[in-house]
């Protein structure tokens, strides 16, 4: 049973995912990952991602200078959030991602995980552009932005697929 305080945060000891569903989910997750891995295109994409951050800049003209530098923030962090950026939306993203950091797999504890904009554009609140990260991973992805955008764009499709399956077994 999930319990929240008045600010919508989880109360200690009340797991967001019932234990038996967690087990079921991890079984299905590994099954789907195995299936995805059989897909050549996916495998190639992931192997590039796992090789390192340099691959994404390779051969791209001017990628490391000026506006294209992954560390160049371009004032994005000062942009006002779009109107759709609500706690309800963030909560639904966390639910989709099973309250788990999508980088280090840390399960959400007392403190809610952050919801990260994959393309760093805070106006883009499409669920496909949003992913759950713990606080430390969220600060990690502030550098090497090109790399992380590509990385999450690949993994988000897996998450959405997984969530569909998870919802159907829960129903
Ligand atoms: Zn993390």
> Where in the sequence is the domain holding 93, given as residue range(s)?
23-170
Long-range contact set of residues 73-82: C-beta below 8 Å, sequence gap at least 24: 76/120, 76/121, 76/122, 79/121, 79/122, 79/123, 80/122, 81/122, 81/123, 82/122, 82/123, 82/124, 82/125
Q: Could you tell me if residue 50 is inside a domain?
A: yes
pLDDT tens-digit map of 129-148: 999 999 999 999 999 999 99
Check: pTM over 0.75? Answer yes or no.
no
pLDDT tens-digit map of 36-94: 777 776 676 666 555 544 344 344 333 333 344 444 444 344 445 554 688 899 999 99
Q: Could you tell me if residue 35 is inside a domain?
A: yes
Residue 36 Cα to ligand 1 middle (Å): 23
Residue 140 Cα to ligand 1 middle (Å): 9
Name residues with Cβ closer than 5 Å to ligand 1, which is an ion. Answer: 101, 103-104, 106, 134, 137
Question: How many domains does the chain fold into?
Answer: 1
Long-range contact set of residues 23-30: C-beta below 8 Å, sequence gap at least 24: 24/169, 25/98, 25/162, 25/166, 25/169, 28/162, 28/165, 28/166, 28/169, 29/162
Q: Could you tell me if residue 8 is inside a domain?
A: no
Q: Could you tell me if residue 48 is inside a domain?
A: yes
Q: Could you tell me if residue 17 is inside a domain?
A: no
Q: Could you tell me if residue 4 is inside a domain?
A: no
Q: Could you tell me if residue 80 is inside a domain?
A: yes
Q: Could you tell me if residue 9 is inside a domain?
A: no
């Amino acid at each position: 049973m999930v319990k929240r305080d008045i600010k919508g945060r989880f109360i200690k000891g009340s797991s967001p995912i019932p234990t038996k569903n967690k087990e079921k989910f991890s079984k299905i997750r590994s099954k789907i990952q195995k299936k995805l891995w059989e897909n050549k295109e996916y495998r190639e994409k992931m192997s590039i991602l796992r090789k390192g951050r340099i691959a994404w800049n390779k051969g791209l003209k001017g990628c490391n200078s000026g506006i294209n530098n992954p560390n160049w923030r371009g004032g994005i962090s000062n942009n006002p959030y779009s109107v759709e950026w609500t706690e309800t939306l963030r909560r639904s993203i966390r639910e989709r991602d099973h309250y788990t950091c999508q980088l280090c797999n840390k399960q959400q504890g007392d403190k809610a995980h952050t919801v990260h904009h994959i393309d760093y554009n805070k106006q883009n609140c499409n669920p496909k552009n949003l992913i759950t990260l713990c606080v430390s991973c969220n600060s990690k992805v502030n550098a090497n932005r090109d790399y992380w955008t590509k990385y999450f764009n690949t993994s988000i499709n897996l998450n959405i697929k997984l969530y569909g399956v998870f919802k159907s077994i829960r129903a």
